[in-house]
Chains A and B, each alone.
Chain A
Amino acid sequence: QVQLVQSGAEVQKPGASVKVSCKASGYTFTGYYIHWVRQAPGQGLEWMGWINPNSGGTVYARKFRGRVTMTRDTSISTASMYLDRLRSDDTAVYFCATQTGRGALNFWGQGTLVIVSS
């Protein structure tokens, strides 16, 4: 069965960087795009971007361009999301999710809580 297992919670200081990883299993890792979506406390879902695990190509939401980097390591079926220059309003749960052929996000990781606090 498809599983996306994310790395554990992080506490970072303002200005620091964070890495969230997403290990995939149960399917061909290079076959489906992986998206990153975040959710601030009590707020809605916010799309951050996607990575094509086959080519490594990425598309980032305008809001995050220049601060986010998405990578993948096909040898370990893992996608990673790096967010730089963290601010307090980056405090959120970060999700990875796979994309179906029609653009829907069909399998989701469990989420990783990132807290940005001095």
Chain B
Amino acid sequence: QSVLTQPPSVSGAPGQRVTISCTGSSSNIGANYDVHWYQQLPGTAPKLLIYGNNNRPSGVPDRFSGSKSGTSASLAITGLQPEDEADYYCQAYDRSLDGALFGGGTKLTVL
């Protein structure tokens, strides 16, 4: 099945580390396609956070990191800050769909 599954929500206190998982299948992440991550603040367009599994665009703090293994990927955020409170989405290409696929999104709450 061509879906990317993310937890609906995660939370952490300021300064803590959180991870957000993105579970796919053999037709997307497991087929060795790159995983990308986006941050979306309320009322704004998504912003590219991680591309190509573990690369940060210019200007993205190194508190954000990505990893990928098998059919899953993860986004880690260390040193949580209040401004990190946002929705986070993973994205990958899916060969069964012959197109891009987004995860359902994860809402990060900074306690």
Contacts and interface: CB of A to CB of B under 8 A. Distances in A.
Interface of A: 35, 37, 44-47, 49-50, 59-62, 95, 97, 100, 102-106, 108-111
Nearest to B37: A104
Contacts of B105: 44-45
Interface string B43-62: 00111100110000100000
Given A47-B102, A49-B99, A103 B93 contact: yes
A44 B101 CA distance: 11
Nearest to A59: B99
Contacts of A111: 45
Classify the interface of chain A: helix, strand, loop or mixed.
Answer: strand
B51 A46 contact: no
Contacts of B47: 108
Contacts of B33: 103
Interface of B: 33-34, 36, 38, 40, 45-48, 51-52, 57, 87, 89, 91, 93, 97-105
Nearest to A35: B100
Contacts, number: 66
A45 to B, nearest CB: 4
A60 B47 CA distance: 23
Contacts of B97: 61-62
Given A103-B34, A108-B46, A45 B51 contact: no
B104 A44 contact: yes
Looking at A35, A44, A97, which has the most chain B CB atoms within 10 Å of its CB? A44
A29 B34 CA distance: 24
